[in-house]
Amino acid sequence: MPYFSVIIPLYNKEKHIKNTVESVLAQSFDDFEIVVVDDGSTDNGLEIINSLKDKRLKVFPKKNQGAAQARNSAIEKASSENIALLDADDIWQPNHLEELHNSIQKFPEASLFCNAYNLKLDDGFTHKATYNIPETDQIQIIDDYFKASIIHPIAWTSAVGFKKTDFNEIGGFDPKVLSGQDIDLWIKFALQKTIVFNPEVTTCYNKTIDNSLSKGNYRKSKCDLFNSYRQEEKKNPSLKKYLDLNRYSLAIQCKYFNDGEVLKKLKNQIDLNSLNSKQKLLLSLPNFMTGQLKKFQSFLIKNDIYLTAFK
């Protein structure tokens, strides 16, 4: 039995999948299998993955049912108790699985293990993710995931590992959620299980790839996801602030895409006490000004300057 099962859902990523798998094969910790579930790709991604010859690579084609179902199916087929997620257009550094292994060895009783990651904001411009915790070089248990994640989230899909039994206990990825299945999973882990953070950067979140929130039904689905925790947030102030900040981020997307229906719902649900002064101002601006500021932020990023309203 391998120590890790690496889970990769594949859907129309022919430009990326070879580099993604090769980044796994180049890991310094090499006791793993790779489980790829092809979610009904219509490009050449499946042919490319089948051309890679390694006995640790297992490929399972299925009809298209979405990323959540593909990940659940791959995890069900996994041989190992230790699961590491990787999206088909992301790349691991060679130390990724080694650092997950270090975290598991230090805190074997924990459930979700998170490595630090960088943010690729533009070609040639990478920014280190910022977490709301004291800076440290030590692997540590996160006592309050929601408080720790109000700038950048402690957990990001291609930077985490978890125990398969714990994943099944909390219900796995919810296929009914069109957008934000990962956020939903981290919330369930944070409410029920122990989370560990490793400050070693082992991968990069490519934020230059098109955002699915341009689709209106995805924005509505994400709004509904946040509202599904209304009872829990009444009893948990950290969760309330975390969800309000996610609602704020979604509201800015709605302003940018002139989605008045979802924006109105979000504004009614956000407690302004959860926001800082910059966020309150941006939320109150007319939509056209939001679009102009978004363009200005993109201009700054192209000049290697990153400004955020979250700190």
Structural domains for the chain:
4-206 (3.90.550.10), 212-302 (no CATH)
Q: Is the pLDDT of residue 57 over 60?
A: yes
Over the stretch 296-307, which tens digit does the pLDDT of each residue have? 888 888 888 888
Average pLDDT over all residues of the chain: 93
Asked whether residue 209 carries a pLDDT value surpassing 80, the answer given is no
- Contact in structure between 193 and 166 (CB atoms under 8 Å): yes
91-136 pLDDT, tens digit per residue, is: 999 999 999 999 999 999 999 999 999 998 888 888 889 999 998 8
Long-range contacts of 170-173 (CB under 8 A, 24+ apart): 172/71, 172/72, 172/75, 173/67, 173/68, 173/69, 173/71, 173/72
Both tokens of 305, joined, read 């300057």
Q: Phi/psi of residue 274, each to 5°? A: -80, -15
